[in-house]
Amino acid sequence: MPLLRLEGVNSFYGRSHILFDVSLDIDKGETVAILGRNGSGRTTTLKTIMGLITPNPGRVLLDGEDISGLNPYQVAKKGVSYVPEERRVFTTLTVGDNLEVAGKVGRKGHWTRERVLKTFHMLVPLLNRKGGHLSGGEQQMVAIARGIIQNPALLILDEPTEGLAPGIVKDAFSVIRTIKAQGDAAILLVEQDVKATLSLSDRVYVLGGGRIVFHGTPGELEARADIKKEHMGV
Amino acid sequence: MIWSKKDILRIGAVAALFAVLPLLLPKIGSSIPVGTEIMVWGIFAMGFNILLGGTGILSFGHAAFFGLAGYATGLLILKDRLPLVLAIPAAVLGAFLAAALIGALIIRKRGIYFAMLTIAFGQMFYFIASQWNSLTGGLDGLTGFKRTVFLGFDITPEVNFYYFVFGFFLLTLLFVKALMNSSIGKTLVAIRENVHRAEFLGIDVKKYQHFAFVVSATFSGLAGALYALLLNFAFPELLHWKTSGDAVLMSVIGGMRAFFGPLVGAGIFVFLRDIISTYTPHWALPLGAIFVIFVLFFQKGVLGIFERGNGK
């Protein structure tokens, strides 16, 4: 049984139909990327998984259980940590408090505070600093750390490197690799940096116009110049 | 440790100030009950700010819990002849239960709708108190009860009652600080900052908001019970939404993001009202002007002016 399954999902914003019969699977411990141009439905897919949008028709299954229609916090409680794009930390809380708030409500497991701080060693000197006084890259590290400290079964990263300096993008991918290597959490990655994303993903879905236009391994995608040209702009 | 060393020092300093305040107040032309009143409003405002500054929810209905406990204290002493040691907890429990019930009904509403509903519920209590003559004394208020002894301690004299309130005041400071230092308090702040992001972490936002509503209302109740005992009197204005507005005003003037902000606001409010009302019955006018000035120019309140932006 896959960890997460989207079954014929159709999602709407008001009356606009955004997703058309999207089906995808993510297995336990797997890293899956969703690629596609802006407006292809990537973020809508994530919002549907998190319960911000209820599919109609269609189902979202987590460990075989239908979670479509649950509230975002209920989805999160079932082991899905969502690291949204844009400003990501609680700015008036310290880095330590950001982790504490997330860790308390999350599940217990492999990712203890100590383990998280070992992987995110750059955060150790910043623990008492307020989120609002961090650089964009530091904020992003806090956001990913806050996601993984919850010991999710599925970690969803929405554009984790958007707007970051190249050096920090490398750091971000490096911690994502470490998380993947630990194997506890499956990762669903939505990213613009196609090359880096493909290098760490087990499987890829490409969205175009709200439909899945490709599904396969990164190697298989490499061979599909048509898909890359039409739906990814590379 | 639920309090940092810095917390203990700061709360200790405030406690020391209030411990000697009864000696100072008469020297500056004021009186001990003014100090008592500052602490009572301080309890009200500090508790209220768990909801406003801490969780980011504006209520204009907390006077309902303040007044409810005030009336309850008076009635329990007067009609049931309960000793204070039972009457005060019973009154506070009443405020707690009322808040739990009302909160459950309205907490799902957001922003302005929530604020409007708090006014509506508050005014409902106000009209009950002002119309139910046989029980509450109607518009004239409830009189005839007197604070006497609390567990053998005679709290009739002004100075004794001052130190009686001082005990509750100190406990309030310690409790609110411990709460805001705890994971729960940090979660409330996270919710204040970004409801959606908090939900994505798996936080049941409504549950926490309801919790903050009930805890803050319980302090409103404690303050209301003490206020009724200070005056030996309960009257409908205690329940009026304008009294809730006073708590908002105190929090904003003092600084709702600073721990002691609401207390500073309460101090300024009570002290200025005391001074200005000796010259003019229109004391609300200059206070209103001060409120406007703070909202326009010093949004972080008095304590915000002194705040250092060191990011700690």
B183 contact residues in A (CB cutoff 8 A): 100-101, 104
> What distances in angstroms separate CA A155 from CA A46, A59, A200, B74, B183, one per listed residue?
11, 19, 14, 56, 23
Q: Which domain holds residue A114?
A: 4-232
- Cβ contact A101–B204 (<8 Å): no
Higher pLDDT, A226 or A145: A145
Cis peptide before A57 (omega within 30 of 0): yes
Q: Which residues of chain B are at the A interface, by a Cβ-Cβ cutoff of 8 Å?
A: 183, 186-187, 189-190, 193-194, 196-205, 257, 311-312
B4: left (phi over 0), alpha (psi -120 to 50) or beta: beta
The answer to whether A70 and A51 are in contact (CB under 8 A) is yes
* Element of type H or E holding A157: strand A154-158
Separation between Cα atoms, residue B119 and residue B105, nearest integer Å? 14
Q: Report the residue from A82, A104, A132 with minimal CB separation from B200.
A: A82
> What distances in angstroms separate CA B72 from CA A137, B133, B142, B209, B224, one per listed residue?
55, 15, 10, 26, 9
Range B263-291 average pLDDT = 88
B187 contact residues in A (CB cutoff 8 A): 101, 104-105
- Cβ contact B203–A73 (<8 Å): yes
Q: Report the residue from A76, A88, A129 with minimal CB separation from B311.
A: A129
Looking at residue A191, its pLDDT comes to 86
Chain A closest-CA separation from residue B206 CA (Å): 10
Look at residue A24 and give its three-state secondary structure.
strand
Looking at residue B296, its pLDDT comes to 86
Q: Give the model confidence (pLDDT) of B7-48 as tens digits.
A: 999 999 999 999 999 999 989 888 999 999 999 999 999 999
Would you place residue A193 in the very low, low, confident or very high pLDDT band (cuts 50, 70, 90)?
confident
Looking at residue B1, its pLDDT comes to 67
Q: What is the DSSP letter of A128?
A: T
Assess whether pLDDT exceeds 90 at residue B59. yes
> What distances in angstroms separate CA A171 from CA A152, A155, A178, A196, one per listed residue?
21, 18, 11, 12
B204 contact residues in A (CB cutoff 8 A): 73
Q: Report the residue from B201, B205, B257 with minimal CB separation from A101.
A: B201
Chain A closest-CA separation from residue B239 CA (Å): 34
Residue B237: which of B63, B98, B120 has the closest Cα?
Answer: B63
Give me the half-sphere count of Cα atoms (radius 13 Å) on the Cβ side of residue A145.
Answer: 31
For helices B111-131 and B241-254, angle between their N-to-C axes, nearest 10 degrees: 130
Phi, psi torsion values for A191, nearest 5 degrees: -150, 155
Could you tell me what percent of chain B has a pLDDT over 70?
A: 98
Chain A closest-CA separation from residue B108 CA (Å): 14
A50 contact residues in B (CB cutoff 8 A): 200
Looking at residue B156, its pLDDT comes to 92
Residue A106: which of A165, A52, A152, A75 has the closest Cα?
Answer: A152
> What distances in angstroms separate CA A222 from CA A216, A217, A226, A229, one per listed residue?
10, 9, 10, 11
Chain B closest-CA separation from residue A232 CA (Å): 28
Q: Give the model confidence (pLDDT) of A101-120 as tens digits.
A: 999 999 999 999 999 999 99
The position carrying tokens 């989120």 is A131
Q: ipTM of the predicted structure?
A: 0.86
Looking at residue B294, its pLDDT comes to 84
Whole-number CA gyration radius for chain B: 19
Q: What is the DSSP letter of A63?
A: T
Query: Looking at residue A50, which CATH number applies to its domain?
Result: 3.40.50.300
- Cβ contact B190–A82 (<8 Å): no
Q: 3-class secondary structure for B37-92?
A: HHHHHHHHHHHHHHHHHHCCCCCCCHHHHHHHHHHHHHHHHHCCCCCHHHHHHHHH
- Cβ contact A101–B183 (<8 Å): yes
Q: Exposure string (b/e) for B14-33, b if CB count within 10 Å is 16 or more?
A: beeebeebbeebeeeebebb
Could you tell me what percent of chain A has a pLDDT over 70?
A: 99
Could you tell me what percent of chain A has a pLDDT over 90?
A: 71
Cite the beta strand spans of chain B per DSSP E: 149-150, 153-154
What is the amino acid identity at position A55? Answer: P
Range B293-301 average pLDDT = 84
Looking at residue B310, its pLDDT comes to 37
Q: Which of B196, B201, B259 has the highest number of chain A CBs within 10 A, making it the mutation to test binding with A?
A: B201
Q: Which residue of B has its CA nearest to A79?
A: B202
Q: Which residue of A has its CA nearest to B193?
A: A90
Phi, psi torsion values for B310, nearest 5 degrees: -95, 0
Could you tell me what percent of chain B has a pLDDT over 90?
A: 74
Looking at residue B81, its pLDDT comes to 85
User: Which of A168-177, A205-214, B211-220 is predicted most confidently?
Assistant: B211-220
A104 contact residues in B (CB cutoff 8 A): 183, 187
Whole-number CA gyration radius for chain A: 17
Q: Please tell me the total number of residues recorded for chain A in this structure.
A: 234
Q: Give the model confidence (pLDDT) of A26-57 as tens digits.
A: 999 999 999 988 888 999 999 999 999 999 89
Residue A161: which of A123, A191, A200 has the closest Cα?
Answer: A191
Strand partners, A6: A24, A60
Assess whether pLDDT exceeds 80 at residue B274. yes
- Cβ contact B201–A81 (<8 Å): yes
- Kindly report which listed range (A48-52, A223-227, B133-137, B173-177) carries the lowest average pLDDT score: A223-227
Q: Which residues of chain A are at the B interface, by a Cβ-Cβ cutoff of 8 Å?
A: 50, 71-73, 76-77, 81-82, 84, 88, 90-93, 97-98, 100-102, 104-106, 128-130, 132-133, 146, 150
Would you place residue B110 in the very low, low, confident or very high pLDDT band (cuts 50, 70, 90)?
confident
Looking at residue A4, its pLDDT comes to 95
How many domains does the structure of chain A reveal?
1
Would you place residue B172 in the very low, low, confident or very high pLDDT band (cuts 50, 70, 90)?
very high
B153: left (phi over 0), alpha (psi -120 to 50) or beta: beta
Chain B closest-CA separation from residue A225 CA (Å): 37
Range B76-84 average pLDDT = 89
* Element of type H or E holding A16: strand A16-26
The position carrying tokens 């939505």 is A190
Strands A80-83 and A65-66, bridge-based pairing:
unpaired
Assess whether pLDDT exceeds 70 at residue B309. no
